[in-house]
Amino acid sequence: MTNIPDPYLSPPSQPWGRWVTTTLRNYLAKRQEYDLGTYNAIKQINLAVPQPMRAVLWRQTTGTVAVTTAGVYYPINLAGTLDPDTTFNMAAGTTNVTGLINTTNQARTMVFIASYDGEAGFASGIGLKLALNGTLIDATECNSFASSIGLVGKTMTQFIIRMEPEDEVSMWAANLSTTTDVTVERFKLLAHAVQ
């Protein structure tokens, strides 16, 4: 009850009745103010608490990344499987399906570990870089040697990246030696929030 009606009291008791009703009104007003302050404080705490984020995207079947220029990185863009048991608040990429998207409304600092096994023709070097929203991150570059005689190279990189809401981090590959397409036998992309 937020409104206390003015009672009808006989004239000798009116001062006492007014004191009681005024005191009750003040008490209720303070309580409402306290309840509102408590609600706002809890809401701010809930907004400030980072949401957990993690994901594993993997593929175990062979695919090809088209190469037209040696040493140039191209999006792998081969669909993988997003592990439903471990993935939370992230989704598979849309611009480059070999990527992960932040599906929360929070900016988070993420650790990424990415690797692929592949080859690109006889005695060729293969490369891996991560990209944020399609922009390559040169500091993530890793290279490996591969050959076309059944031996594949494994490239692996790891990095910490700040992701805003809807940001996408994806994997890119390169043939460092020739223009032969890169054959990706398998890949893994793992991410988890650290802040």
What is the per-residue pLDDT for 74?
98
Q: CA 164, CA 98: separation in Å to the nearest integer? A: 18
Does the structure show a pLDDT above 70 at 3? no
The topology under which CATH files domain 54-193 is Jelly Rolls (2.60.120)
Distances (CA, A) of 70 to 35, 98, 122, 174: 65, 21, 14, 7
Number of Cβ within a 10 Å radius of residue 147:
14
Which is nearest to 169 in space by CA: 103, 102, 123, 70?
A: 102
Tokens of 65: 């990344």
**What pLDDT, in 10s, does the model give residues 118-152?**
998 888 899 999 999 999 999 999 999 876 666 78
Helix/strand/coil for 177 = coil
**Domain edges within the chain:** 11-48, 54-193
pLDDT band for position 8 (50/70/90)? low
pLDDT band for position 22 (50/70/90)? confident
Residue in the block written with tokens 């081969």: 78
Q: CA 2, CA 27: separation in Å to the nearest integer? A: 10
Q: CA 40, CA 152: separation in Å to the nearest integer? A: 57
CB hemisphere CA count around 22 (13 angstroms): 6
In this structure, what is the dihedral angle of CA atoms 129, 132, 133, 134, given to the nearest 10 degrees? -20
Does the structure show a pLDDT above 60 at 47? no
